Amino acid sequence: MNLKESTNATWLFEITPKNKFFSLHLKEVWVYRDLLFLFVKRDIVTVYKQTILGPLWYFIQPLLTSLTFTIVFNNLAGISTGSVPPFLFNLASITVWNYFTACLNGTSNTFASNAGIFGKVYFPRIIAPLTVVLSNLIKFFIQLFIFLCFFIYYYSQDALVSFNSWTYFFPLVVILLGILGLGFGMIISALVTKYRDLTYLIGFGIQLLMYISAVFFPLDLIAVKMPKYAWLVQYNPLAYCIEATRYMLLSTGAFPFWGIVYTLFFSIAVLFIGLLLFNHTEKKFIDTV
């Protein structure tokens, strides 16, 4: 009996049919940190290989989108952005919005796009969605740099834009967006492994979501113009993140303090549910994907 116990104590790990209800494998993720780093590097380095414009594509996409928004929503539809130049207003919103959608899209494809590797070798599966969030963060910094260039240009042209003391908290908003993208992405990734229906939903779902996330209009505008449907935006944590971003970077609108507090709790809840579902799926997805 004693002998049996002594051998049992030396087991390094055990494979069982199901994961424990909630286990993060944080220790394991730490062991595989180099893999995370190398995956991020791979994503950054290889994405625009064999293209002529190369990394310039990181700049072109947000700039053209902002330009289009400015023409359509501000010039054509006449949405007022207050004293802030509409182009800068849109660029700020799109930069953070892009980060969220890139995280969401990337993580929701985790199982499908990594099926080849996942089917052949074990590493903590959570590495894959974390890679998406981190490599998109680097792309986000590149796009933020573009924004800053335009910010300086407009600032030198005496536009009414400025930073303020809340600007220091901008990284917090970015982290919240990353967590929301990761959380929602993991929920979707766990659900689509067996039933693919959601993949069709997510494509246009993100587009529709943009309209209720206050990307190209100030948050208070919808309350004034469409009070009946304002709740759609007011319950949307993304709207607060984007509104807060614009306040922090351009000093326009009002800082949605309670909105951000609400978003904080919301994102933690989403992340928790996401981890739970992901944890539940990761062991057997390879049989159903």
Partner 1 sequence: MKDIILKVENISKQYRLGTVGTGSLVHDLNRWWHQIRGKEDPYLKIGDTNDRSTKAESDYVWALQDINFEIERGEVIGIIGKNGAGKSTLLKILSRVTAPTTGSIKFGGRVASLLEVGTGFNGEMTGRENIYLNGAILGMTKKEITSKLDEIIEFSGCQRYIDTPVKRYSSGMYVRLAFAVAAFLEPEILIVDEVLAVGDAEFQKKAIGKMQDISKTGGRTVLFVSHNMAAVKSLCTRGIVMEHGKVKFDGGIDGALDAYQLNNSIEIETEYIGDNIIKRALLHTSNNSIKYKSDFKLDVFFESKNLIKNLVLGLVVKDINDVELIGVNNRHYQSDKINQQDVYKGYVSIFIKELNLFPGIYKIDLFLGDSTTDLEIVYEAIKFNILESFEYEVINSLNFKINKVFHENINWEYNS
Choice between 42 and 225, CB closer to partner 1: 42
- Closest among 76, 74, 96 to 85, alpha carbons compared: 74
State the DSSP string of 184-222.
HHHHHHHHHTT-THHHHHHHHHHHHHHHTTTSSS-HHHH
What minimum distance in Å lies between the beta carbon of 200 and partner 1? 15
Candidate segments 12-20, 97-105, 160-168, 175-183, binder of partner 1 by CB under 8 A: 12-20
Q: Which residues contact 135 (CB under 8 A, 6 or more apart)?
A: 39, 40, 43, 44
Q: Which two tokens stand for residue 47?
A: 């994405």
Which residue in this structure is represented by tokens 């053209």? 64
Rounded to an integer, what distance in angstroms lies between the CA atom of residue 2 and that of residue 122? Answer: 33
Residues numbered 154 to 213 that lie near partner 1 (CB under 8 A) are 194-195
- First-last CA distance in the chain: 43
Choice between 120 and 228, CB closer to partner 1: 120
Instruction: Report which DSSP code applies to 84.
Output: S
Q: Name which position in 2, 27, 78, 116 contacts partner 1 (CB under 8 A).
A: 116
- Do 147 and 102 meet the contact criterion of CB atoms below 8 Å apart? no
What minimum distance in Å lies between the beta carbon of 171 and partner 1? 27
Q: Name which position in 1, 5, 17, 20 contacts partner 1 (CB under 8 A).
A: 17
Rounded to an integer, what distance in angstroms lies between the CA atom of residue 285 and that of residue 125? Answer: 11
Choice between 39 and 89, CB closer to partner 1: 39
State the DSSP string of 108-166.
HTHHHHTHHHHTT--S-TTHHHHHHHHHHHHHHHHHHHHHHHHHHHHHHTT-S----GG
Rounded to an integer, what distance in angstroms lies between the CA atom of residue 15 and that of residue 20? Answer: 11
Binding of partner 1 at residue 280 (CB under 8 A)? no
| Pattern 23-62, partner 1, x by CB under 8 A | --------xx-xx-xxx--x--xx--xx------------
What minimum distance in Å lies between the beta carbon of 30 and partner 1? 11
Candidate segments 85-93, 120-128, 230-238, 241-249, binder of partner 1 by CB under 8 A: 120-128
What minimum distance in Å lies between the beta carbon of 19 and partner 1? 8
Q: Name which position in 119, 145, 152, 229 contacts partner 1 (CB under 8 A).
A: 119
What minimum distance in Å lies between the beta carbon of 191 and partner 1? 12
Choice between 119 and 205, CB closer to partner 1: 119
Binding of partner 1 at residue 7 (CB under 8 A)? yes
Q: Which two tokens stand for residue 6?
A: 């002594």
Binding of partner 1 at residue 138 (CB under 8 A)? no
Where do contacts with partner 1 occur on this chain (CB under 8 A)?
A: 3, 7-8, 10-18, 31-32, 34-35, 37-39, 42, 45-46, 49-50, 116-123, 194-195, 283-284, 286-288
